[in-house]
């Protein structure tokens, strides 16, 4: 029997042929693993711009979203009495989330005094203890990109930003410049990098120019011209496993999307957003899938001085994601009483969930992700 030469002495041509054969075999094994894994995610070729896997670390992350929060009316007294419990049942609604995001619809200034009250019908201001209340309720990050973020003028915005820094509380959608206002909040959970970007499509016409953050002006991240927002999403897409956009949009008291919302949503999805949620209407709007992305057109009020329906219908949205794949969602219904949400139970919760699900009819969104079977009842 002729002795075979050692591998290190094989001719170069043979080494290359065997290397190619091994690479093909490895590729075929990988394909078999993918096809038999039971995953309903897109094929592995769907990756972020810098080559991050579609599923990121492969570990699921639960994002929880609440709508509008301020500290006017009965909430003012609750905040003064005990910031840790000021938001009532909000903590129970947000429980179980890895990241919780709400819309803070107020300026935050020392003593809740407005240094430059803006010429508008409703202007809100809260003391810095508002951030302790948000933290006590389990909120991870809040957006101030809305039509009340500068209720106390640019001087009030400076105070809001200073109060957030002092409290070590993340505040997004506002800043000393457009770069800061559009900067994402980044957080890593279960090995996944989550990026949350905030902007507002709603600004009073007479105040929009003065309130909009620019390269030389402090203000809010405006989506009235979506160019900067879309650029921020594309940039975040290059490094994040999951990209979330929280918008202030819609028409007050209108339970269906206005003409501007679907157009902006589609542009954001094309730019790379995985989850898009929003508030402003003070009533709930429908939610569902736009292809692979998940969209909620209106979360409604969360902690607000609303006194009657439909503005007292509240709740929180839990969305579970694994990288870019949205695994499922669940609405947790509540009712605002005395300014704070009270989670619903039993028959009331069933009715609240059915009412929320019915809102999808006018959105053009789907109950399930494209190409997937419905999940268990109670969520998707």
Percent of the chain residues topping a pLDDT of 90: 83
Please tell me the pTM assigned to this model: 0.85
User: Does a structural domain hold residue 45?
Assistant: no
User: Does a structural domain hold residue 9?
Assistant: no
User: Does a structural domain hold residue 314?
Assistant: yes
| Burial class (CB within 10 angstroms; exposed 0-12, middle 13-18, buried 19+) of 212 | buried
Least trusted range by pLDDT, from 120-134, 284-298, 307-321, 365-379: 365-379
Query: Phi/psi at 39 (nearest 5 deg)?
Result: -75, 140
User: Does a structural domain hold residue 39?
Assistant: no
pLDDT of 42 > 50? The answer is no
C-alpha count within 13 angstroms, C-beta hemisphere, residue 246: 34
C-alpha count within 13 angstroms, C-beta hemisphere, residue 296: 30
User: Does a structural domain hold residue 11?
Assistant: no
pLDDT top residue among 51 and 338: 338
> Using the 8-state DSSP alphabet, how is residue 250 labeled?
S
Predicted local confidence at residue 370, as pLDDT:
83
The three-class DSSP label of residue 104 is: strand
In angstroms, rounded to a whole number, what is the distance separating the alpha carbons of residues 35 and 4?
38
Predicted local confidence at residue 377, as pLDDT:
28
User: Does a structural domain hold residue 322?
Assistant: yes
> Using the 8-state DSSP alphabet, how is residue 366 labeled?
B
Predicted local confidence at residue 371, as pLDDT:
58
Predicted local confidence at residue 53, as pLDDT:
77
Domain count, the chain: 1
In angstroms, rounded to a whole number, what is the distance separating the alpha carbons of residues 117 and 107?
10
User: Does a structural domain hold residue 19?
Assistant: no
User: Does a structural domain hold residue 171?
Assistant: yes
Domain of 184, CATH number, reads 3.60.21.10
Per-residue pLDDT tens digits for 289-347 = 999 999 999 999 999 999 999 999 999 999 999 999 999 999 999 999 999 999 999 99
Mean pLDDT for all residues in the chain: 87
Per-residue pLDDT tens digits for 216-249 = 999 999 999 999 999 999 999 999 999 999 999 9
Per-residue pLDDT tens digits for 179-217 = 999 999 999 999 999 999 999 999 999 999 999 999 999
User: Do 217 and 207 touch, CB atoms closer than 8 A?
Assistant: no
In 3D space, the residue among 363, 338, 335 whose CA is nearest the CA of residue 351 turns out to be 335
* Cα torsion angle, 112, 220, 283, 93, sign: negative
Provide the domain limits for residue 283.
61-362
Predicted local confidence at residue 114, as pLDDT:
96
């Amino acid at each position: 029997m002729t002795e075979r030469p050692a591998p290190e002495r094989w001719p170069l041509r043979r080494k290359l042929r065997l290397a190619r054969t091994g690479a093909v075999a490895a590729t075929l094994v990988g394909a078999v693993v993918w096809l038999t894994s039971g995953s309903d995610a897109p094929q592995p070729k769907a990756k972020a711009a810098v080559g991050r896997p579609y599923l990121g670390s492969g570990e699921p992350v639960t994002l929880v979203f609440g709508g509008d929060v301020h500290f006017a009316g009965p909430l003012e007294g609750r905040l003064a009495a005990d910031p840790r419990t000021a938001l009532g049942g909000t903590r129970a609604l947000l429980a179980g989330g890895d990241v919780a995001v709400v819309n803070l619809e107020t300026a935050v200034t020392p003593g809740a005094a407005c240094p430059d009250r803006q010429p508008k019908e409703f202007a809100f201001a809260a003391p810095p203890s508002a951030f302790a209340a948000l933290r006590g309720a389990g909120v991870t990050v809040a957006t101030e990109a809305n039509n009340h973020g500068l209720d106390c003028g640019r001087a009030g915005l400076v105070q809001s930003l200073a109060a957030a820094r002092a409290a070590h509380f993340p505040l997004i959608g506002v800043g000393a410049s457009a770069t800061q206002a559009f900067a994402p909040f980044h957080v890593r959970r279960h090995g996944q990098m989550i990026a949350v970007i905030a902007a507002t499509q709603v600004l009073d016409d007479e105040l929009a120019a003065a309130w909009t953050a620019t390269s030389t002006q402090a203000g809010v991240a405006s989506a009235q011209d979506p160019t900067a927002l879309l650029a921020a999403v594309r940039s975040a897409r290059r490094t994040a496993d999951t990209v979330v956009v929280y918008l202030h949009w819609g028409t007050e008291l209108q339970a269906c999307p206005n003409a501007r919302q679907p157009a902006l949503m589609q542009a954001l999805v094309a730019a790379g957003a995985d989850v898009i949620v929003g508030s402003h209407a003070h009533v709930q709007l429908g939610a569902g899938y736009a292809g692979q992305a998940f969209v909620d057109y209106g979360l409604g009020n969360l902690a607000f001085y609303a006194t009657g329906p439909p503005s007292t219908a509240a709740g929180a949205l839990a969305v579970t994601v694994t990288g870019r794949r949205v695994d499922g969602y669940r609405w947790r219904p509540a009712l605002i009483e005395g300014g704070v949400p009270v989670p619903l139970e039993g028959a009331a919760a069933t009715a609240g969930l059915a009412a929320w699900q019915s809102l999808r009819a006018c959105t053009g969104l789907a109950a399930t992700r494209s190409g997937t079977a419905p999940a268990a009842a109670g969520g998707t």
